[in-house]
């Protein structure tokens, strides 16, 4: 007996990205609503909305479509527009806060810097933690005059 051909398309009962939903979602994103709030306003689950975006960006195992790719790009642009609009508003209304915001963003974007002494301290702490777990053992030091804390522990 021959198998019935596999049905194509969305499963019955699944929610699709309609043109109306897309227009509404983008309007909500442009005013700065977060994903969860956009989903709530669209009366869909946040999981569904985030899946549409992930599929459009190619971050999902599920297949994408031209409509989802356009939607994901439009969402990214709408979010950027909302950030820019908020910055302009802050700059106009509270220039002092705007400078604080820029300073905080620059500090957050800059990678932390460590002095050589801080790096040595962190490395020693890491090795000591590994040794306490007994999953890592340090071989005996070939230097007979070695007095480092790691080899000294092994000699005891």
Q: The whole model's pTM is what?
A: 0.59
Q: What is the pLDDT of residue 108?
A: 77
Q: What is the pLDDT of residue 149?
A: 64
Is residue 147 scored above 90 in pLDDT?
A: no
**CB-based contacts of 48: which residues, under 8 Å, 6+ apart?**
15, 39
**Cα 148 to chain center, whole Å?**
40
**CB-based contacts of 64: which residues, under 8 Å, 6+ apart?**
55, 56, 58
Q: What is the pLDDT of residue 137?
A: 63
Please provide the average confidence, as pLDDT, over all residues in the chain. Answer: 84
């Amino acid at each position: 007996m021959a198998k019935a051909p596999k049905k194509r398309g969305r499963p019955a009962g699944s929610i699709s990205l309609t043109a109306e939903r897309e227009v509404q979602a983008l309007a909500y994103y442009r005013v700065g609503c977060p994903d969860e709030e956009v989903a709530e306003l669209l009366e869909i689950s946040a999981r569904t909305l985030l899946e549409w975006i992930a599929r459009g960006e190619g971050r999902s195992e599920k297949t994408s479509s031209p409509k989802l790719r356009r939607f994901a790009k439009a969402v990214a642009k709408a979010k950027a527009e909302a950030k820019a609009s908020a910055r302009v508003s802050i700059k106009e209304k509270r220039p002092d806060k705007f400078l604080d915001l820029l300073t905080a963003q620059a500090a957050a974007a800059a990678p932390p810097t460590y002095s050589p002494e801080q790096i040595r301290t962190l490395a020693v702490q890491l090795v000591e933690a590994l040794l306490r777990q007994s999953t890592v053992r340090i071989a005996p030091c070939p230097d007979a005059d070695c007095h480092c804390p790691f080899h000294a522990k092994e000699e005891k």
